[in-house]
């Protein structure tokens, strides 16, 4: 008989999901920066790459808190969002609409990550994992700030 799944199992599964997503995004951000025509947008993507490296490090700390090895789990949602961004880059290359498309794709990524971090933070509060809550909240705040900055354009 299969072991009954718990909130701890779901937390770990979701943590693996966002860890995969962050590492995948680290690979996509330099491509997005190169594709952007605006110097400000290039700089924003480069800044977010640096922040994302910090997000990965914080996630590794959460895995350590759990006594687990940091490892990702394929996330079809982020794969699809990144693929959509790549399609925009190809289809709108050299057009005035490219930067708007890149911003849109980046916001889809941010919204996905904001929801994941918010959920993980809430689930970490239940068993009182305050160290994990603090790490997740720090990343959630950065993701929200990035999304807000992109919304202002």
For tokens 């949602």, name the residue.
Answer: 77
> With contact defined as beta carbons under 8 Å apart, do 63 and 15 qualify?
yes
pLDDT of res. 127: 82
> With contact defined as beta carbons under 8 Å apart, do 33 and 86 qualify?
no
| Residue 22: closest CA among 148, 98, 113 | 113
Question: At 54, which CATH number?
Answer: 1.20.1260.10
Q: Name the DSSP class of 110.
A: H
Q: Name the DSSP class of 67.
A: T
Q: Average of pLDDT values for 37-42? A: 93
For residue 25, tell me if it sits in a domain: yes
pTM as predicted? 0.92
pLDDT of res. 148: 83
Q: Average of pLDDT values for 132-141? A: 95
For residue 1, tell me if it sits in a domain: no
Task: Tell me the pLDDT band of 152, cut-offs 50, 70 and 90.
Answer: low
Does position 139 have pLDDT exceeding 90, yes or no?
A: yes
Q: Average of pLDDT values for 119-128? A: 92
For residue 16, tell me if it sits in a domain: yes
Does position 153 have pLDDT exceeding 60, yes or no?
A: no
For residue 131, tell me if it sits in a domain: yes
Residue-wise pLDDT for 59-114, tens only, equals 999 999 999 999 999 999 999 999 999 999 999 999 989 999 999 999 999 999 99
For residue 2, tell me if it sits in a domain: no
CA dihedral for 18, 21, 27, 28, sign (positive or negative) = negative
Total number of domains in the chain: 1
For 26, the domain range is 7-67+75-152
Backbone φ, ψ for residue 91 (5° rounding): -70, -30
For residue 139, tell me if it sits in a domain: yes
Q: What is the mean pLDDT of the chain?
A: 93
């Amino acid at each position: 008989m299969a072991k009954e799944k718990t909130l701890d199992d779901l937390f770990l599964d979701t943590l693996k999901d966002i860890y995969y997503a962050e590492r995948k995004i680290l690979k996509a951000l330099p491509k997005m920066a190169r594709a952007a025509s605006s110097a400000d947008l290039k700089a924003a993507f480069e800044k977010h790459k640096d922040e994302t490296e910090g997000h990965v490090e914080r996630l590794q700390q959460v895995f350590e808190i759990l006594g687990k090895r940091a490892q990702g789990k394929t996330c079809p949602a982020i794969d699809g969002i990144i693929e959509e961004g790549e399609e925009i880059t190809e289809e709108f290359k050299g057009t005035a609409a490219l930067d708007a498309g890149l911003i849109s794709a980046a916001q889809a990524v941010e919204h996905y990550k904001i929801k994941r971090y918010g959920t993980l933070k809430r689930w970490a509060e239940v068993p009182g994992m305050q160290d994990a809550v603090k790490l997740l909240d720090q990343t959630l705040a950065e993701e929200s700030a990035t999304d807000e900055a992109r919304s202002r354009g």
